[in-house]
Structure 1
Amino acid sequence: MELTDKLIILADAAKYDVSCASSGAPKRSSKGREGLGSTDGMGICHSFTPDGRCVSLLKILLTNFCLYDCQYCVNRRSSNVPRARFTPEEVVRLTLDFYRRNMISGLFLSSGIIRSSDHTMEQLIQVARLLREEHHFRGYIHLKTIPDADPQLIAQAGLYADRLSVNIELPTETELLRLAPEKNGQSIKKAMGTIRLGVEEAETERKSPRFAPAGQSTQMIVGADATNDRVILDTAQRLYGAYRLKRVYYSAFSPIPDSPRSVPLTPPPLLREHRLYQADFLMRGYGFNAAELPTESGNLPLDIDPKLAWALSNRDIFPLDLNRAEPSLIARVPGIGVLTAKRLATLRQQRRIRYADLIRLRCSLEKAKPFIIVQDYRPALALADSQHLRYQLSEQPAQLALW
């Protein structure tokens, strides 16, 4: 098979793994190919380096042959899809060719399981080793870790990769056992623990070699089973605490060719994935606990964002006087972010905050107005009813259709 033909197959097969920063893309369907280089299709993804730079990565699989038969995966062994396999040298060649054309800044490499977990992990490491040691490649490398691989191999991968990821796939071990019986939740967590120890040792021991400086991430598939958002967010919160993950990524399940009856034949609304990302951001950046985020029958509301849902469920806190409240609480006001809350706290040391200041700081006043008090503004009493506010502030059907 020609290298270009392999690239088409293995770039397309890689788009289902969203454990890098291009997640939430509007299209991941296996019907039709958007073309190599499309950031919402196959071939290219974006990630962030430890210093905050956004970089474009060549996103491919080493192979889509796989010993496992995970029911939600397009590359499962029983799936009727075209198969291909790169050699490590071919991946290196492609990476360097794209890099020299200034099309990418690095590589995101995953793989199906071939021969054994250890053999597959050795092949992934060989790609990174060739890039780093023989070609002196200093671009960004993200390697997918094979959970059942020997911990020494995972430790070796961390010496070459900027980021490692281990996909937990499903939020509960019960569902993982049902849909992917050949995988083991404990081995996944053991691999995450190995990576955490490697990162911490590199951070604390001055003489320790560089180890995955961009940390680790994981992916959870949404809608392949009946697990609700409450369980998904609880799982994410535990993972952040136990393994110091940089990110949990959420991938709306996409029905695949010849899907088995064990998984849904229709995808969940992509807006559900978006709400989970918003909720996750509140947990990482705003200090929210998963239990604080309101759900309806276990799922996040689709018509309003999680921050607004929290505010509507805590009306006793509002309206909030921005001239007196703690900055951490101001940041919880819909339409006001963490940075703006800090700027308001600085401003009120000089003078009283006025409505014009909120306009100047570009607050989303349509959302914020019912929840705030400033020197020259207080919300009308008619807006006190939560149901009325929800109706007024919910996203319009035209907006919902975009998701």
Structure 2
Amino acid sequence: MAVLDLRRKLAVLADAAKYDASCASSGTSKRDSIGGKGVGSTEGMGICHAYTPDGRCVSLLKILLTNFCIYDCVYCINRASSNVQRARFSVDEVVELTLNFYKRNYIEGLFLSSGIIRSGDYTMEQLVLVAKKLREEHDFRGYIHLKLIPEADPRLVEEAGLYADRLSANIELPRDEALKRLAPQKDVGVIKQAMGRVRLKVEAARPAKKDRAKPPKFAPAGQSTQLIIGADGASDTEIVDRSASLYAGYGLRRVYYSAFSPIPDSSSALPLSKPPLMREHRLYQADWLMRFYGFSSAEIGDAANDGMLDLAIDPKLAWALNSRAQFPVDVNTGAREMLLRVPGLGVKSVNRILQVRRWRTLRLEDIGRLCRGIHKVRPFITALDWTPGGLTDAADLRARMTPSVQPVQLSLF
């Protein structure tokens, strides 16, 4: 009977955790065990759930400690007034599940969040206790991502960073006024203070070259947050601007975007329908441009239409079509910064171009071999044997570059 009860809890609390998108293992570091007999690793292979920067697959057990919650956030399916099935794990049950799933090679890490029970301090204390038991009692070296409870005592937040690889506190809504209106028990100022403390602790844990004694590790994979798209009326440019300020202000590793999905018995304050899932995808692409391609939020916004990203073409192509005076770029002499702005050229392709052009003058055929496809690239570059002529300025270039069959973003749910 106990096994069936645990399975029921797992079904309820794993399903309840699916709405939190901020769980990837990017940037985690290897943990050494005492005597080499520890349990778990972030370096093996398992069920595909997340990827590290070098391409390794890291599978995560993603659950809530409980979906009981004393808060009544209008957009949350687990809010206090919601009529959903409730369940709660004990600390030992989460520890047992994590270890048993790992030993069966189902997972390599844990993502643990929770509704607020009793108080922020009590909830954070329970989350930390799970990580502490895994690390200290079972020498678990796998990846652990803990959700921060911003209202909790700063000492609990600091303790969480000593056991977790990554911490996250979700801003949730792009507009501060919307958070006050739809989540009255939450305070955006308190959330930002918690994120600021995490940033300071992460930076303090980075050893200087001259330091002989290394400081204790603190959340080596940094912190992340999540923004819900389409629940508060914020435009794409507002969301991109908010993300840029979060990256700059709190040193975040990732901002995750989750398209609002209507929930049962929802309030009239929420939209009746969900936004196009392609909108979520375009925001991730815009985020990638800021993080790896040198784009500013203002540049991405310049190519938007009434504050919304183009759903038919990606943001990089939209910017290029809006900035035709910048093109074509000579692949043999162009700066890396401009090559990264050429539609169809990724970071790896640009790095290959820079390497190869040191030894030979590149032709169009060479570019075709160094990137995934030449169709999108041709109007925006010149090479030894290629010039686009009037193609770059062609009035119908957008129509030529728009896919005949629009891609479909699949729902996670």
2:228 pairs with one of 207, 221, 229: 221
Cα deviation, 1:321-378, whole Å, max 9, x if unaligned, reads 1112101211110000122112212222222110110121134211111111111111
State the identity %. Answer: 59
1:1-400 mapped onto 2 (5 Å cutoff): 2-21=5-24, 46-48=49-51, 53-204=56-207, 206-293=213-300, 294-382=303-391, 384-386=393-395, 388-400=396-408
Deviation at 1:400, TM superposition (A): 4.2
Separation in 2, partners of 1:321, 1:255: 48
Structure 1: give runs of 5+ residues left out of the alignment. Answer: 23-43
Distance 1:143 1:254, change over 3 A: same
- 1:328–1:338 CA contact under 8 A, matched in 2: no
Contact 1:49 1:140 in 2 (8 A): no
Distance (Å, rounded) in 1 between the aligned partners of 2:294 and 2:406: 31
SS at match of 2:19: coil
CA distance in 2, matches of 1:235, 1:198: 23
Distance 1:142 1:50, change over 3 A: farther
Q: Shift of residue 382 of structure 1?
A: 4.9
CA contact (8 A) 2:328 2:392 kept: no
Distance in 2, matches of 1:69 and 1:55, equals 33
Of 323-332 and 142-151, deviating more is 323-332
The code of the aligned residue for 2:277 comes to L
The AA in structure 1 aligned to 2:318 is A
SS at 2:388's partner residue?
A: coil
Normalising to structure 2: TM-score of the pair? 0.89
Given the two structures, how large is their TM-score scaled by the length of structure 1?
Answer: 0.91
8 Å Cα contact 1:369-1:379 kept in structure 2: yes
SS of equivalent to 1:107: strand
Q: Distance in 1 between matches of 2:320 and 2:391?
A: 17
The one-letter code sitting in structure 2 at the alignment partner of 1:280 is: D
Number of aligned positions between the proteins: 381
Call closer, same or farther: CA 1:257–1:265 in 2, change over 3 Å: same
Asked if 2 retains the 8 angstrom alpha-carbon contact of 1:70 and 1:181, the reply is: yes
Write the distance in 2 (CA, Å) between the matches of 1:397 and 1:348.
Answer: 35
- Note the C-alpha offset of 1:383: 5.4
C-alpha spacing 1:344/1:49, structure 2 compared with 1 (3 Å): closer
Consecutive unaligned residues of structure 2, counting only runs of 5 or more, are: 26-46
